[in-house]
A and B are shown apart, each in its own frame.
Chain A
Amino acid sequence: MSSQINEGGLNRLLSPTTLAGLANLELVARTAVEGFLTGLHRSPHYGFSQEFKEYRAYVEGDDPRFVDWNVYARTERTYIRRYEGETNTRLMILLDASASMDYSSGGISKLQYGKFLAAALAYLAARQHDPVGLIVFDEQIRQFRPATSRAGSLQGMIHTIDAVTAGKGTNLEECFRNFGEHLKRRGLVAVISDLYCDPAVLSKAVQPLAYHGHDIMLFQLLDPRELKPDWSESVLLEDVETHRTLNVAPEYLAGEYRERLGNHLASLRKAAADVGAHQLLISTDEPLDRALRRYLLFREGRS
């Protein structure tokens, strides 16, 4: 399996800080994806393709276009050819570019990591000729690229991702309501965000998309210091979105804060599961290829 290739070497190469050193985002995406798990990402839907999979007896209701007439001529039985397609999933990437995504405790920011992830997903889809689209949002939708699999669209997509900068606050509910207008055809929706929102609100916002048949994947990005704050002295913390400040003791951050965050993450997972979506928590110090592998293994498990 390609998932077993040279894990240590790739891990070393694909650490977020190493990737941040690469100037070209396409190169980043290619480096992360190239030679990596080809075939794992299979479409759950069969369609036109050059790759034969199996014959099946024709039953009523099958499209007569797929009957193999050569087989019928030899055997006088009607069989239908089935093919396995590599590219039949419409991928829509929803990238959160709010101010909180710009937070970094020393390594790369969540937004930067999200851009890497978005580019890698786009590259992965384009490599399989899947149509890929992009929506960048914060309090509202800032940018929209419809899904397409045209040749050369990947470069435009990656260029758009590369140009994304952090904006202001977040309004997931409002944004998700508007996503429906842009997501007419069903497909895979990858939401990349830190998901600082009420799980109930999120559930409510995602629900319409799920009902429309979208396969929703929530990539939740958090900084290591958000997951495990390590201050040993009282600090004055400033919210990067609201600029509100609070004097916080390290004991609180080590105890109460982590408990609250853990509850929040659990609630998010449950809310996502309730509406048929899936949540994947990624720390920004996690190597990008490992995050992708987790995602793809998760997808394979589903399929």
Chain B
Amino acid sequence: MFLAPAFLLGLLAIGVPIWLHRVARANPTQHPFASLMFVEASETQRTAQRTLRYWLLLSLRILLLIALVLAFAGPLLSERVVPVADANARLHAIVIDKSLSMQHGERWQRALDEADKVLGELRSSDRVMLAAAEGRRVAVLENSVPASQAGTIRGLLRSLKPGIERLDYGLAMSTADNWLGSPRPPVVLHLISDLQQSAAPLRFADLEPPPQTQLALHDVGNAAAENVFIQGASLKTVDTRSLEVTVRGASAKPQQRQVILAIDGKEYARRGVELPADAASVATPPIEGEGGQPGPDFPAQSIASPAAKVLFSDLKLAAGSHRIQVSLEPADALPQDDRFYAVLEHADPKALLVATDSRADDVAYFGAAIGSLAAPTLNMEQRAPDAIGSSVLTSYSLLVIANTGALPDVQARRIKEYVAAGGSVLATLGTNSSLDAGPLLEGWRIGEPEQRSASVGEIATTHPVLRDAGDWHSVRFFRHRSVEIGKNDKVLITYEGGTPLLIERTIGAGHMLVLTAPVDREWNDLAIHPLFVHFIAEAARYLVRGDASAASTTVGSVVLTGLTAVGGGQIFDPRGERVLGLAQTAAADRLIPDQTGFYEIRGNDGVRWVAVNVDARESDLTPLPATFVQRWQAMQMRKAAPSVAAVAPTTADAKPRSLGPAVLWLAAAFLLAELLLANRYLAIRRETPK
């Protein structure tokens, strides 16, 4: 088989060296001589010998041409005829779970012992590799090496330490085909883990191992493991001066703990809490299995262990940003999840209403609606577009823009930067007959007003702003305008014809909600409709993150820092060390934290704190149900069947291997030999005196 058989026509070129050799044979070199008195013609015998020697050169040249032609034609070799060095050889891939839960008790030591045991059982023909799985990555620590080099792997194992991130088995298995490398012999994938239920993926199919891979699960967990942890802490929705802490734990007997609240590094209060015994078995709701069939016993990722809530009420906090640390005493076998960090912005947020005419109707409507909000409570200020030049926009939690068309370009750019750094804007398009999108709505095309009535079509009721949307269909629209938006913008409400009415636009770390209809009685009756105030309240709560929850994120997740290339800045980790190198300070709009605690982000607009916690799902040590593990292993057995028979591929799925590169190397060898031989022959033919 050849990839490009047409190149075989190049074999005709073999005639060229043959012809050249025929010419060369009839051309001896001439030399003067003093006298031919003792000389006789004696060509025949010598020519015969020379021809013989030239045949060697001719053969080399012909072979070189054949090899070149074959290299271009691309010969293919079926794997059926590729010799297998050892049909029973296996690649043992040891994947060790480095997630937080492996720090519990003796799990890590058991994992190391288990890996050592696998290494001890290797056969001499086997190969072995080592990988560590944590967070969203599987790090290959040692690529495939012969079993004789198992000592290297042992050395690496001794230097390994468990991390604090979460592991998702689905991610590890679905990427296995890549990190196992190729080509590879049949693989035995040793997953050494505590087989946490919370590490299972949402889709069972994600657990499928790659072809020709046998999965060996090494459970180093302990079904009776006890762990008490803080699941979260948040401000109460209504009473934003009360902090509610959720404590969970799985234990055979009731557990008592002290919950200690520290604010800005100082202990503020402590409460006692008692967790009931975890007597109930884990509920495992059925989810979709393979082939769309419902699969039994699939574990939920939600945490189902007993919980207790502790309330710290009437926090007397000064305005500003506060670092809150909640911890449990005494600590247990997994102390990393006994602490919880959060940042609390304790100040009534301010809103700025930007409008040209302070006595216009829409200004009055917005002012009234925002002023009536209870949660969040917004302090309202009002400025004309030209007057916001000197004010610090970042001190406002929300900007309300009555008419984006009235914004000068300079101010529009400033507002855009404010949004990109994490700000929020609620805006309406103006009543003007023709509107320019301007820098703030860059990429939009805004059409002329259409003088005909319309009604609301589709509503994205899953969006937080529209979750209790009310009866938008009863709002009457007398005029409307068509708007073409950017591909990254999200339409939340449309008119019946599909024209967008409410659009969410994301710029950098901030959000905008844009109503394409002005709040004007000549355009619609939205301002006097009962849902208006509710809509403004939900929008304000959404935009200013008005859930009044203490903000925190998890290790390994992406945090938008709000730092821009223009402004620059620096980030300090919880130990106080700089996170960004000099080269990164200009472009560090994202951060992936790898430690728990408070990250300090220093930008042009001052200091901001980001609280980072471990993923609470790692704290739930409930093991995977035995039926689930069986199904997982049965799935790979059925799919892969990594028997010796699988080593020799069948004719149908035997992938042909290209011999082109090998033939090219052969051609290079022929070329070298031809050069050496031809050079030697030519040197002789010159007959220079010795």
From known contacts A233-B687, A246-B41, infer whether A103 and B34 are also in contact, taking CB-CB under 8 Å.
Answer: yes
Determine whether B37 belongs to the interface, using a CB cutoff of 8 Å to chain A: yes
CA distance A76 to B569 in the complex (A): 143
Restricting to B9-34, which residues have a CB under 8 Å from any CB of A?
28-34
CA distance A237 to B47 in the complex (A): 15
Contact of A252 among B35, B40, B47 (CB under 8 A): B40
Determine whether A110 belongs to the interface, using a CB cutoff of 8 Å to chain B: yes
Check if B38 sits within 8 Å of A257, measured CB to CB. Answer: yes
- With both chains docked as a complex, state the minimum distance between the C-beta of A177 and any C-beta of chain B, in angstroms: 22
CA distance A240 to B35 in the complex (A): 7
CA distance A233 to B29 in the complex (A): 9
Q: Which residue of B lies closest to A238 (CB)?
A: B32
Determine whether B319 belongs to the interface, using a CB cutoff of 8 Å to chain A: no
Q: Which residue of B lies closest to A230 (CB)?
A: B690
- With both chains docked as a complex, state the minimum distance between the C-beta of B231 and any C-beta of chain A, in angstroms: 95
Q: Which residue of B lies closest to A246 (CB)?
A: B41
Check if A223 sits within 8 Å of B684, measured CB to CB. Answer: no
From known contacts A246-B41, A251-B45, infer whether A223 and B34 are also in contact, taking CB-CB under 8 Å.
Answer: yes
Check if B28 sits within 8 Å of A247, measured CB to CB. Answer: yes
Chain A interface extent, by class: 35 or more
Restricting to A219-234, which residues have a CB under 8 Å from any CB of B?
222-223, 225-226, 230-234
Determine whether B43 belongs to the interface, using a CB cutoff of 8 Å to chain A: yes
Q: Which residue of B lies closest to A253 (CB)?
A: B39
Check if A248 sits within 8 Å of B684, measured CB to CB. Answer: no
Check if B43 sits within 8 Å of A234, measured CB to CB. Answer: yes
Check if B30 sits within 8 Å of A249, measured CB to CB. Answer: no
From known contacts A196-B37, A249-B43, A249-B46, infer whether A103 and B684 are also in contact, taking CB-CB under 8 Å.
Answer: no
Determine whether B521 belongs to the interface, using a CB cutoff of 8 Å to chain A: no
Determine whether B203 belongs to the interface, using a CB cutoff of 8 Å to chain A: no
- With both chains docked as a complex, state the minimum distance between the C-beta of B34 and any C-beta of chain A, in angstroms: 4
- With both chains docked as a complex, state the minimum distance between the C-beta of B655 and any C-beta of chain A, in angstroms: 53
Determine whether B6 belongs to the interface, using a CB cutoff of 8 Å to chain A: no
Contacts of B689 in A (CB 8 A): 105-106, 225, 230
From known contacts A103-B33, A196-B34, A196-B37, infer whether A248 and B43 are also in contact, taking CB-CB under 8 Å.
Answer: yes
Contacts of B35 in A (CB 8 A): 100, 194, 196, 226, 239-241
Check if B38 sits within 8 Å of A251, measured CB to CB. Answer: no
Determine whether A150 belongs to the interface, using a CB cutoff of 8 Å to chain B: no
Contact of A236 among B28, B37, B45, B690 (CB under 8 A): B28
- With both chains docked as a complex, state the minimum distance between the C-beta of A111 and any C-beta of chain B, in angstroms: 11
Check if B41 sits within 8 Å of A247, measured CB to CB. Answer: yes
Check if A237 sits within 8 Å of B39, measured CB to CB. Answer: yes
Contacts of A239 in B (CB 8 A): 33-36
Check if A194 sits within 8 Å of B34, measured CB to CB. Answer: yes
Determine whether A260 belongs to the interface, using a CB cutoff of 8 Å to chain B: yes
Determine whether B463 belongs to the interface, using a CB cutoff of 8 Å to chain A: no
Chain B interface extent, by class: 20 to 34
CA distance A242 to B32 in the complex (A): 11
- With both chains docked as a complex, state the minimum distance between the C-beta of B578 and any C-beta of chain A, in angstroms: 78
Check if B38 sits within 8 Å of A103, measured CB to CB. Answer: no
Contact of B46 among A226, A230, A251, A261 (CB under 8 A): A251
Check if B38 sits within 8 Å of A235, measured CB to CB. Answer: no
Contacts of A184 in B (CB 8 A): none
- With both chains docked as a complex, state the minimum distance between the C-beta of B686 and any C-beta of chain A, in angstroms: 9
Contacts of B29 in A (CB 8 A): 233, 235-236
Most chain A beta carbons < 10 A, residue from B28, B34, B36, B687? B34
Check if B36 sits within 8 Å of A264, measured CB to CB. Answer: no
Contacts of B50 in A (CB 8 A): 233-234
From known contacts A230-B690, A233-B684, A234-B47, infer whether A246 and B32 are also in contact, taking CB-CB under 8 Å.
Answer: no
Contact of A247 among B37, B38, B43, B687 (CB under 8 A): B43
- With both chains docked as a complex, state the minimum distance between the C-beta of A281 and any C-beta of chain B, in angstroms: 14
Determine whether B433 belongs to the interface, using a CB cutoff of 8 Å to chain A: no
Contact of A232 among B28, B30, B33, B684 (CB under 8 A): B684
From known contacts A235-B28, A249-B45, A251-B46, infer whether A261 and B38 are also in contact, taking CB-CB under 8 Å.
Answer: yes
Determine whether A62 belongs to the interface, using a CB cutoff of 8 Å to chain B: no
Determine whether A245 belongs to the interface, using a CB cutoff of 8 Å to chain B: yes
From known contacts A231-B687, A257-B39, infer whether A238 and B34 are also in contact, taking CB-CB under 8 Å.
Answer: no
Contacts of B36 in A (CB 8 A): 237, 239, 242, 244, 246
Determine whether B42 belongs to the interface, using a CB cutoff of 8 Å to chain A: yes
Q: Which residue of A lies closest to B50 (CB)?
A: A234
Determine whether B473 belongs to the interface, using a CB cutoff of 8 Å to chain A: no
Task: Identify the 5 closest CB pairs spanning chains A and B, nearest first.
Answer: A249-B46, A103-B34, A252-B42, A247-B43, A260-B38
Q: Can you list 28 A-B pairs with a CB-CB distance of less than 8 A? A: A100-B34, A106-B689, A194-B35, A196-B34, A222-B34, A226-B34, A231-B687, A233-B685, A234-B28, A234-B46, A234-B50, A235-B28, A235-B31, A236-B28, A237-B31, A238-B32, A244-B36, A246-B40, A247-B28, A247-B41, A248-B39, A251-B42, A252-B39, A252-B42, A256-B42, A257-B38, A264-B37, A264-B38
- A contact residues vs B (CB 8 Å cutoff): 100, 103, 105-106, 110, 194, 196, 222-223, 225-226, 230-242, 244-253, 256-257, 260-261, 264
Q: A196-B34, A247-B43 are in contact. List 19 more A-B contacts (CB 8 A).
A: A103-B32, A103-B33, A231-B687, A233-B29, A233-B46, A233-B50, A233-B684, A233-B685, A234-B47, A235-B687, A238-B32, A240-B33, A242-B36, A246-B36, A246-B40, A249-B46, A252-B39, A252-B42, A257-B38
